């Protein structure tokens, strides 16, 4: 585990985090850009408080957090004294697939069906046409992930022995702050409390069922191993993120840049993703809406994750995470 950086970089005057002292319980904290933390259990006089509990009361608690961030007398401790966990424990995780134009085109080319001998240029043109049609028809692709796959932003990620092609997918994650059910695109962002970073790891070898290909994708198997979703480090309030349509996502593998793209390449923006998910399910405070990953995954580079790899992921204004891959020890 990598300790929290001395000076976290995020937009705005404060962010939220879930921390713990050595051998102590997790607790919600207000984090300042200069690398200090305020224990919100003490500041808000609630020993049972969690970040998700704050989000349940988000419209009421947000002004109090703003005042606390400005209060020079509030008791603050260096972040380096604490372990940083995933910033929030969601009840539901909504994941988005095929939402970055170039990424989808690359995957379309990489996943060549048996017997398809068409040249790459033709397959790329076909994928581009599919993306244009999806955008016109306003049909995002959303599926369900498991909260048990979430881990902290600096924790090691165990690569299961069965995962033949583990891959990275850096993503912008929206965190819900108000219940959302059948909300319009125009209303959707009113239900978002803030944003954080997610790395939605995927075993490419198990995305499609081998025993019965006509069933389609198997996201349970390919995406939900314990620790397959490093999250955080911070939950940055939505008001501090000026334009989610132009954020830079960068993922480095062992110091080499693999993903470097703007959210401008999204087919469906955050508001459309949240609205679409809410048409079928009720989104609850603390839930995550992952918005898809840009081009540059391992399938594109022909280089999948292996034991000892270190991933550094960052998104403009949201900080950075570092996770090390560890091969599962055979039993």
Q: Give CA–CA dist 217/228, Å, rounded.
A: 17
Structural domains in the chain, sorted by start: 15-85 (no CATH), 93-327 (3.90.850.10)
Q: Provide the pLDDT for residue 1.
A: 44
Mean pLDDT of 183-197: 98
Mean pLDDT of 89-100: 95
- Kindly report the pTM of this predicted structure: 0.92
Q: Give CA–CA dist 187/197, Å, rounded.
A: 23
Q: Provide the pLDDT for residue 153.
A: 98
Q: Provide the pLDDT for residue 111.
A: 67
pLDDT at 81 over 90: yes
Could you report the per-residue pLDDT of 25-50, keeping only the tens digit for each?
Answer: 999 999 999 999 999 999 999 999 99
pLDDT over 70, % of the chain? 96
Instruction: Please tell me which residue, 110 or 96, carries the higher pLDDT value.
Output: 96
DSSP code per residue over 167-236 = E--EEEEEEE-S-BSS--HHHHGGGEEEEEEEE--EEGGGSB-SS-GGG-B-HHHHH-STT-EEB-S-BE
Q: Provide the pLDDT for residue 107.
A: 74
Instruction: Please tell me which residue, 115 or 271, carries the higher pLDDT value.
Output: 271
Mean pLDDT of 119-128: 84
Q: Give CA–CA dist 276/257, Å, rounded.
A: 32
pLDDT at 297 over 70: yes
Could you report the per-residue pLDDT of 306-315, keeping only the tens digit for each?
Answer: 999 999 999 9
Could you report the per-residue pLDDT of 235-247, keeping only the tens digit for each?
Answer: 999 999 989 999 9
Q: Provide the pLDDT for residue 292.
A: 96
Most confident listed range (102-106, 134-138, 147-151): 147-151
Q: Give CA–CA dist 326/246, Å, rounded.
A: 33
pLDDT at 176 over 90: yes
pLDDT band at residue 331 under the 50/70/90 scheme:
low
Mean pLDDT of 297-320: 96
**HEC profile of 106-151:** HHHHHCCCCCCCCCHHHHHHHHHHHHHHHHHHCCCEEEEECHHHEE
Q: Provide the pLDDT for residue 309.
A: 98
């Amino acid at each position: 585990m990598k300790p929290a950086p001395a000076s976290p970089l995020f937009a705005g005057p404060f962010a939220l985090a879930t921390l713990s002292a050595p051998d102590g319980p997790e607790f919600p904290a207000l984090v300042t850009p200069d690398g200090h933390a305020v224990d919100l259990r003490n500041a808000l006089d609630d020993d049972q408080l969690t970040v998700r509990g704050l989000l349940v009361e988000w419209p009421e608690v947000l002004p109090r957090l703003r005042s606390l961030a400005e209060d020079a007398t509030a008791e603050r401790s260096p972040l380096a004294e604490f372990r940083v966990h995933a910033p929030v424990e969601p009840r539901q995780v909504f994941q988005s697939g095929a939402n970055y134009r170039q990424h989808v085109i690359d995957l379309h080319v990489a996943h060549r069906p048996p017997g398809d001998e068409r040249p790459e240029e033709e397959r790329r043109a076909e994928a581009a046409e599919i993306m244009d049609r999806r955008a016109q028809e306003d049909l995002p692709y959303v599926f369900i992930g498991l909260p048990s796959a979430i881990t902290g932003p600096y924790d090691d990620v165990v690569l299961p022995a069965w995962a033949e092609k583990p891959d990275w997918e850096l993503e912008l994650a929206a965190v819900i702050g108000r219940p959302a059910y059948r909300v319009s695109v125009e209303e959707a962002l009113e239900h978002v409390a803030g944003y954080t970073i997610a790395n939605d790891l995927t075993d490419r070898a198990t995305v499609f069922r081998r025993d019965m290909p006509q069933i389609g994708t198997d996201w349970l198997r390919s995406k939900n191993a314990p620790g397959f979703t490093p999250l955080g480090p911070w939950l940055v309030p939505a008001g501090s993120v000026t334009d989610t349509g132009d954020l830079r996502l960068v993922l480095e593998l062992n110091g080499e840049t693999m993903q470097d793209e703007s959210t401008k390449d999204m087919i469906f923006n955050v508001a459309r993703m949240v609205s679409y998910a809410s048409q079928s399910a009720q989104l609850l405070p603390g839930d995550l809406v992952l918005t898809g990953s840009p081009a540059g995954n391992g399938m594109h580079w022909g280089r999948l994750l292996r034991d000892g790899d270190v991933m550094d992921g960052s998104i403009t204004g949201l900080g950075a995470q570092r996770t090390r891959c560890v091969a599962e020890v055979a039993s």
